[in-house]
Amino acid sequence: MKVCIAEKPSVAREIASVLGANKKCNGYFEGNGYQVTWTFGHLCTLKEPQDYTADWKRWSLDCLPMLPPRFGIKLIPGNATYEQQFQVIQQLMQQAEAIINCGDAGQEGELIQRWVMQKAGAKCPVYRLWISSLTEDAIREGFANLREQKEFDRLYEAGLSRAIGDWLLGMNATRLYTLKHGQNKQVLSIGRVQTPTLALIVRRQQEIDGFRPEPYWELKTVYRKVTFSSVKGKFTQKEEGENFLERVKGTDFEVTDVVKKKGKEAPPKLFDLTSLQVECNKKFSFSAEETLKYIQSLYEKKVTTYPRVDTTYLSDDLYAKVPNILAGLVGYESLTQPLKGKKLPKSKKVFDNAKVTDHHAIIPTGVPARGLSEAEMKVYDLVTRHFIAVFYPDCEVSKTTVSGRVETVDFKANGKEILHPGWRVVFDNAAAVPTEVSGDGEESEGVLPAFEVGESGPHEPVLKETWTSPPKPYTEATLLRAMETAGKGIEDEQLREALKENGIGRPSTRAAIIETLFKRDYIRKERKSLYPTQTGTDLIGTIREELLKSAELTGQWERKLRMIEKGQYEAKTFLEELKAMVREVVHDTCRQTNILCPQCARGYLLRGNTAYGCSQYRNGCNYRIDYADCSKGLSEKEILKKIYHSSNKS
């Protein structure tokens, strides 16, 4: 028998149906030469500290760092259902002529299934089913093109490195900070991705709390019901603005230039998981976790493709399948009919093999979407409209800039007119509704009236007082974008795409990280805004080791994990680097005092063998005071007095 192992019972049922394995047995389906069984996601996990040595069961600084020479796995304890299902899997695998790994086609899916196969002691050949949707055609095509397991060894190595890295940092740093600063009251949970993400939120709140609003003034004038802004920009002194206001009073406004520029706007890109979570948070206030749940359900209902992806592109081979997908979109006939029978565009902005790794962007499969919940339908509708829109023409616009002058003071207003909506009709023709014309120098969606160069007339000038605004709190949408770019607030789409390699977390894990911060009471939500709790703020304040809080450094680790996946970096090297960092963090934190460095005022003093030094030594602070000048056996309070006495003398 060939044994197929899926990640969920529902997926196993679909595969069994396609293969003709219709006999229901205890924990598997059988028939036509196949046995199809399943896991429940993770059945196995890395061993816990006490599984390596009894000494590590005790939380003690003397036991740190915990660095197992070889990591092992075990069944997740305390779940009778998991144990029973594993027994079924083990028995089937030990009698199998071949095993087909039908787990989710991604890094986490590879790791989950490989651990189960290792634990079950599988010895026969193993093949991989690699598909992007659960439609009957996709499953049949996948089984017709099964791949050797060894093709995915690097993917497994990257997943294993990620899991071990999280264990090394999480287990050691959590115990270290709990023992040093938990005051025997609470566990201070530290994570490789969790802590830098929390640090982003805490730092943003500190920026908001420390913000001091300052006034500025803008000179504007209304001519023919259009607001024009002075090109002088903002005035930081009211008197200067008032002087300009006096100069333009009582004199007619004259139009000096009208520039019309036709342009095109390309359709919005297809979705990867992060951009879908961002859009659903903005439009429907869905959390990242909720969006992932809905799109995963749509995938399992066969109506959308594999969701845990980080690309917004399609592979070239999908182009031939597009007409059939469009034809199957029930309820969207009015939008797909104009495309029927036409040669569809094949843009590099949509089809690019170089931008597709394991999977392509999230798109509909063409299977009719029936029986969806209201929330699922909202997500499905977004995915489907974006897919249809990329085959529509560009939106043609006319951008108008009108310049004017009063005395020697120049003004400007911008407007935009939709000439041919193109792809915008796919989104309920929302672009046809004009919005209020903006005269703040930024592009508006409104249409300006016709102006002639040389025309003039009365106007209504005003000096508008405005106050600078603090940074906005993160929402889940903006936090996901920050995680995607390792804390850099990048709005430019192309630049953001380039920084994805250095993002913290993976598209498939970011939602879970945010949920973990909620569950541990490190953050809270008010409407859409995210705020750190006092517990979360205190935790980040307690962690003085910047390595544990740095989104940029975590992003570099993520890049190396991707390089392991591509065979460009050794997993062994990555783990040795992490072990070295864990040793360093433990060493420095155990030596750290509560004395602020008198030189840089950023770091804290560390106890060395012969002297005190600053914890910011890696960042250039060379402060040092020998024990000869500051007795070793004193309390921190007494040491502090001596340090400042010594510093003042020098």
**Domain residue limits at 189:** 170-209+473-587
The number of domains in the chain is 5
Helix (H) / strand (E) element for 386: namely helix 374-389
Residue 356 belongs to domain with CATH number:
1.10.290.10
Which of 310, 317, 324 has its CA nearest to residue 362? Answer: 310
CA distance 117 to 615: 45
Q: pLDDT at position 435, please?
A: 32
Task: Supply φ then ψ for residue 14, to 5 degrees.
Answer: -65, -45
Question: How big is the CA angle at 390 (ends 386 and 396), to the nearest 5 degrees?
Answer: 110
Q: pLDDT at position 41, please?
A: 86
Pairing of strands 611-614, 604-607: antiparallel
State whether 379 and 403 are in the same domain: no
State whether 236 and 343 are in the same domain: no
CA distance 649 to 647: 6
Helix (H) / strand (E) element for 265: namely strand 253-265
627 assigned to active site: no
State whether 7 and 112 are in the same domain: yes
Residue 19 has pLDDT above 60, yes or no: yes
pLDDT in tens, 261-270: 999 999 999 9
Of the residues 466, 490, 523, the one at which a domain ends: 466
Q: pLDDT at position 606, please?
A: 82
State whether 605 and 494 are in the same domain: no
Q: pLDDT at position 443, please?
A: 37
State whether 529 and 454 are in the same domain: no
Which of 277, 331, 279 has its CA nearest to residue 303? Answer: 331
From the list 28, 127, 299, 306, the catalytic residue is 306
Q: Which residue has the higher pLDDT, 634 or 35?
A: 35
Assess if residue 604 is contained within a domain: yes
- At position 251, the amino acid (one-letter code) is T
Assess if residue 155 is contained within a domain: no
State whether 141 and 20 are in the same domain: yes
Residue 441 has pLDDT above 70, yes or no: no
Assess if residue 486 is contained within a domain: yes
Q: How far apart are the first and last CA of the chain?
A: 82
Q: Which of 190-194, 569-573, 613-617 has the lowest mean pLDDT?
A: 613-617
Residue 196 belongs to domain with CATH number:
1.10.460.10
State whether 131 and 47 are in the same domain: yes
What average pLDDT does this structure show over 181-191?
A: 84
Q: pLDDT at position 616, please?
A: 81
Assess if residue 491 is contained within a domain: yes
pTM here is: 0.85
Contacts 24+ apart (CB under 8 A), 575-581: 575/161, 575/164, 575/165, 575/168, 578/164, 578/165, 578/168, 578/169, 579/65, 579/67, 579/168, 581/169, 581/547
State whether 224 and 354 are in the same domain: no
User: What tokens appear for 465 in the block?
Assistant: 């007082």
pLDDT in tens, 82-117: 999 999 999 999 999 999 999 998 888 999 999 999
Pairing of strands 529-532, 592-596: unpaired
**CA dist 607 → 37, 581, 637 (Å):** 57, 19, 14
